[in-house]
Amino acid sequence: MEAPKSLIDKINAQFTTSLHFASPLPSSRTTEFDLVRGLLQILQGFSSSLFYWDRIRQRYRPKDGLYVTHLSQTSLCMVLDQFVYSATCLKLVEITVGKMQERSPPPTLRAFAQSVSAWLAKLRDIASKEEVKMTGTTPTILGLASSLTSLCSGAEYLLQIVHGAIPKDYIEGATRVSSAEMAVHILNRLYEKLNDACLVQGGEEDSYRMLLYIFVGCLLPYIEVLDSWIFEGILDDPFEEMFFYANKAIAIDEAEFWEKSYLLRSTQHKKLNMAHVTLKKIPVSSKTKGQNERDLMVCPLFLKDIAKEIISAGKSLQLIQHVPITSSSALVSRHDDTKRCMTQLSLSEIFCLSLTALIGHGDHMSQFFWQNDKIVSASESCVGTSCSEKIWYKFLVDGLPAKRECVNINGENEILLEPVVSSFCPENPTITVCQKLLQANTGEWNTLNLSNNYILPPLNDEELRKAIFDGTTPNGTNYASGFPFGDSEIVHSRHGIKVVEALFPFPTVLPSFKEDLLISELLPFQKNSTLVSKVLSWIQTVEPKSTPLPVVILRECLTFYIKKQVDNIGSQILSKLLRDWKLMDELGVLRDVYLLGSGDLLQHFLVVVFKKLDKGESWDDDFELNTVLQESIRNSADGTLLSSPDSLVVSLTKMDVQQTSTSSSFVASSPRKARAQTSGINDLDSLKFTYKVSWPLELIANAEALNKYNQVMNFLLRVKRAKFVLDKARRWMWKERGTTTVNRKHRWLVEQKLLHFVDAFHQYVMDRVYHSAWSELCEGMAAAGSLDEVIQVHEAYLLSIQRQCFVVPDKLWALIASRINSILGLALDLYSVQQTLSSGGTVAAIKARCHKEVDRIDKQFDDCIAFLLRVLSFKLNVGQFPHLADLVTRINYNNFYMSDTGNLITAPASDSVKFKLAKTVSV
């Protein structure tokens, strides 16, 4: 058994290796100067003779047995631990970033790696500067600890950001995550961290600045895709990072374009090994459909509320650009100053400028670009401002492209033939890099100008020319004088040189070498100019005046401009819909056709069909029906409503068996059994009218909408047929007015009750469905702000007329519709009775059955009316649906069926009616 170690053994073990009471090795002794230099080197990512990187444990370790004479081993370890830990954090960040960059990351992940690398370089640069300061001084470890406080805290915080934003499994390749999910996770994680870091204490601004720098850098690729989408209608997303994607199977000229061309991207339901955020599927049963769709959408937190509006804006732009221009209105484009709130600037540039103004001075840039409810250009927003000394204003002026045209005294445009030095010169990126040097040395411009170097220098050939030409041409060859051209060629050549010089100034100038030069400064592009890189560099060094919440930053610097552009596109698409594409005219045609608004457009067609139903003739030939329909349209005074007669087509659909078997008890016992069985009130439901809506209006009135129109039309056709047969029956009754009997009086009374109901209901339909609903539709269209809202208004209009015609799939409406259909069916039954009596029904048995059938119709009508009035007069229903009160008023005219207190007036039985009528006749 091994003896326990004594206290002296434990102390000695700190200095020796298994050698009791041995002195430390001289080779392990070092000086404090070497320690400080070694620490600064590992903080810069290098190994030294005193410290090395342990690949197995993934950390920096000091050399075994390392000691200094004036510090104990314990004190030395405590002092070194904080620096070694900070160096380890920086090294782990470097390794993680390197692994990310090796895998050809998508833009957001690449931007994250680049932003982290830039901040890593900034932290290591602090150690590099401290190493430079060591020359000629005697540094101490304690002094180093005080000067590197920000570096040590920043190193640990930077590692936390990297580990929180990038899952370990993803770095090691154990988990496959889509580019969209990874981008959203990075942005959401940084958004949440920035939200926690905004309430910083004094001296802790570095963490907020670090997060802000990385967050802005990661957000820029996302903003660039949004810029091309909402300003050009182009989804430039090859890495599929956006929260929506294009369905390439749907073309722009198809009816399903608006609903299925661009779809929201949903999660892959894969759990990532992340510190705080997990992408997972939420059960559908736990939330509503809209909430569940929003939760499963792969979209940054700060864009979820306007995600669908963003998608609609780009699709609207595509529609505007695809449909041929039929008016003088111009397209919404990047070059139209009145249609782009950031004229001459991209969305990423205006975001960076607004951010600079907000955190640097507390200014709101939106007030400069949105003045008096009007969008102004960037150049106009600079005029008259009192912010010339503010950094964001300098960035703005410096980022605006140079104007190469000016107005002379006479008011005419002329091209400046002097070279213009601007901060942004896409023709020659060298000018952009050398602008400060050129502006400081304007006296040297003549030397660099093309005109002074374009012409060859003169030749010293005077003596040669004298010898050849015998002294007649003493002057030598001078190309500047125009040799060998004439005067006109000289003038033309000089002017051409000046034009080229103005277009391409200083073609021979070369930039001086600059270390760590950003590629965006050397080669500035239209969407990735020097302005963005300058703002990012400014964030690294600025002392923020305020630390606003990320929700404030994004609302003031990004979503404000997105919403303005979305609203602007919405107004443009509405203008196209209402003016150029004649939306209301097309909806008016649908109203006239499907709601039977046109008086005689379908009159001839319906009369022919009704007569075929009465005679029991076959009417299942689509060709014959369409022939009659086209004849009806051509002979109608409203035939010009349709673009062409064949734009409206009718077809027959198969009906449910239950719908076809709607025969009454009288039908079964009638001599006209075979004829009446084919004459149910639901027979017309098999008619389906198809109207060809012009593109792109079929995006609004699509196939689903036409099906709803057909449902309403089928109901209206039932009402129209009931009115048609009752009018015909009344004409037959009028011929019998010479003879008055109790049964005939009773039949007249029943016919009048049915006719009053059908007329009242038909008038209700025309007032509420045809007129009132249309007025609400017009008001909704006038208030709409986008194509989505137009579609919603139209769908609300369809739901309204469906509800008012009781054809919505709802239990209450189904009960009401069943009683209304029963009453309309009773009108056909009464018509059949009158038809039997008028065609020779003199047999006593037939008359008796007819009288019993009239009694049944009367009783069933009273039962249906009582049920309808109870349901329609119920206060809750009337409160929710005011149109029901209007229907009750029309049916219960003069309180015929129900009193003001809501009590039903008991309908007299058939015997009582006969007695009263008989009494009247006897008198």
DSSP per-residue string spanning 516-575: T--HHHHS--SSS-HHHHHHHHHHHH---S----HHHHHIIIIIHHHHHHHHHHHHHHHH
Q: By percentage, how much of the chain surpasses pLDDT 90? A: 19
Please say whether the beta carbons of 468 and 525 come within 8 A.
no
For residues 431 and 438, the answer to whether their CB atoms sit within 8 Å is yes
Q: Of 265-274, 399-408, 674-683, give the lowest mean pLDDT range.
A: 399-408
Nearest Cα neighbor of 855 from 637, 665, 727, 725 is 665
Question: Do 292 and 284 contact (CB within 8 A), yes or no?
Answer: yes
- Give the DSSP letter string of 657-717: HHHH----HHHHHSTTHHHHHT--TTGGGGEEEEE-PPTTGGGTS-HHHHHHHHHHHHHHH
Res 3 pLDDT > 60: no
Residue 631's pLDDT band, with cuts at 50, 70 and 90, is confident
- Residue 268's pLDDT is what? 64
Average pLDDT over residues 545-562: 90
Mean pLDDT calculated for residue range 900-909: 59
Q: What is the C-alpha radius of gyration for the chain, rounded to an integer number of angstroms?
A: 44
Most trustworthy range by pLDDT among 4-18, 290-304, 437-451, 584-598: 584-598
* For range 159-186, the mean pLDDT: 85
Residue 901's pLDDT is what?
A: 64
Going by pLDDT thresholds of 50, 70 and 90, the confidence category of residue 293 is low
Cα distance between residue 229 and residue 321, in whole Å: 13
Q: What pLDDT does 271 receive?
A: 46
* Torsion sign over Cα 498, 499, 502, 507: negative
- Cβ-contact 866, 904 below 8 angstroms: yes
DSSP state of 297: B
Check residue 923 and give its pLDDT: 32
SS3 of residue 164 by DSSP:
helix
Cα 497 from Cα 419, distance rounded (Å):
12
User: How distant, in Å, are the alpha carbons of 389, 592, 754 from that of 684?
Assistant: 78, 19, 20
- To the nearest whole number, what is the mean pLDDT of the chain? 76
Residues 6+ apart with CB under 8 A from 95: 58
- Residue 65: pLDDT over 70: yes
Q: What share of the chain is helix, strand, coil (3-state, %, to 5)?
A: 60, 5, 35
Most confident of 109-113, 134-138, 252-256, 850-854: 109-113
How confident is the model at residue 376, as a pLDDT?
Answer: 55
Question: Per residue in 647-665, pLDDT tens?
Answer: 888 888 875 444 443 333 3
Confidence band, pLDDT 50/70/90 cuts, at residue 516? low
With 50 as the cut, is the pLDDT of residue 59 above it?
Answer: yes
Residue 136 is predicted with a pLDDT of 75
Judged against a pLDDT cut of 80, whether residue 377 lies above it is answered with no
pLDDT score, position 414: 39
- Residue 375: which H helix or E strand, with range? strand 374-375
| CA-angle at 825, arms to 844 and 892, nearest 5° | 105
Q: Is the pLDDT score of 739 beyond 70?
A: no
Residues in contact with 76: Cβ distance below 8 Å, sequence separation at least 6, in sequence order: 66, 67, 68
**What share of the chain has pLDDT > 70, as a percent?**
72
Question: Rounded to an integer, what distance in angstroms lies between the CA atom of residue 307 and that of residue 482?
Answer: 66
Select the more confidently predicted residue: 748 or 428: 748
What is the model's pLDDT at position 432?
67
Q: 225 is written with which tokens?
A: 């895709």
Q: Taking the mean position of all CA atoms in its chain, how far away is CA 217?
A: 23
**Which positions ≥6 away from 636 have C-beta within 8 Å?**
598, 600, 601, 602, 603, 604
The token duo for 169 is 């499994």
- Summarised one tens digit per residue, pLDDT across range 808-844 is 887 878 888 888 888 888 888 888 877 777 776 566 7
Q: For residues 499-520, give the mean pLDDT.
A: 67
Q: What is the pLDDT of residue 922?
A: 36
Instruction: Give residue 4's pLDDT.
Output: 55
Asked whether the whole model's pTM tops 0.85, one would answer no
Q: Which of 248-257, 386-395, 863-872 has the highest mean pLDDT?
A: 248-257
- Whether 804 has a pLDDT exceeding 70, the answer reads yes
Query: With bands split at pLDDT 50, 70 and 90, how would you rate the model's confidence at 668?
Result: very low
Rounded mean pLDDT of 290-305?
A: 75
Phi, psi of 195 (to 5 degrees): -65, -35
Q: Which residue has the higher pLDDT, 379 or 760?
A: 760
Q: Residues 552, 557, 561, 562: is their CA dihedral positive or negative?
A: negative
Identify the pLDDT of residue 201.
Answer: 57
What lies within 8 Å, CB to CB, of 174 at 6+ separation is none
The strand pairing partners of 649, in sequence order, are 690
Which value, to the nearest 10 degrees, does the dihedral of the CA atoms of residues 327, 329, 331, 336 take? 160
How high is the pLDDT of residue 373?
A: 54
Distance CA 261, CA 249 (A): 8
State pLDDT tens for residues 438-454: 777 777 777 777 666 66
Q: Are 217 and 122 in contact (CB under 8 A)?
A: no
For residues 15 and 247, the model is more confident at 247
Query: Would you say 570 and 785 are in contact if contact means Cβ atoms under 8 Å apart?
Result: yes
Answer whether residue 327 shows pLDDT above 80: no
**Residue 468 pLDDT > 80, yes or no?**
no
Cα 840 to Cα 829: distance, rounded to the nearest angstrom: 17
The total number of residues written for the chain in this structure: 923
Q: What is the mean pLDDT of residues 719-740?
A: 76
Q: In the predicted model, what is the mean pLDDT of residues 66-77?
A: 78
What per-residue string of b and e applies to 52-71 under the rule 16 or more CB within 10 Å gives b? Answer: ebeeeeeebebeeebbbeeb
Give the mean pLDDT of 730-734: 75
Query: Do 211 and 549 contact (CB within 8 A), yes or no?
Result: no
Residue 329 has pLDDT above 70, yes or no: no
CA neighbor of 307 nearest in space, from 264, 341, 355, 339: 264
Q: Hunting for tokens 């620490």 — which residue is that?
A: 39
Q: Is 897 left (phi over 0), alpha (psi -120 to 50) or beta?
A: alpha
- Phi and psi, residue 482, nearest 5°: 100, 5
Count the neighbouring beta carbons within 10 Å of the beta carbon of residue 204: 15
Q: Are 757 and 869 in contact (CB under 8 A)?
A: no
Alpha-carbon span 908 to 914, nearest angstrom: 10
- Average the pLDDT over each of 7-11, 618-622, 878-882 and give the range with the smallest value: 7-11
Q: How far is CA 727 from CA 686, 714, 752, 858, in A?
A: 24, 20, 10, 18
**88 against 27, higher pLDDT:** 88
Distance CA 711, CA 769 (A): 13
Residue 832, Cβ density class (10 Å: 0-12 exposed, 13-18 middle, ≥19 buried): buried
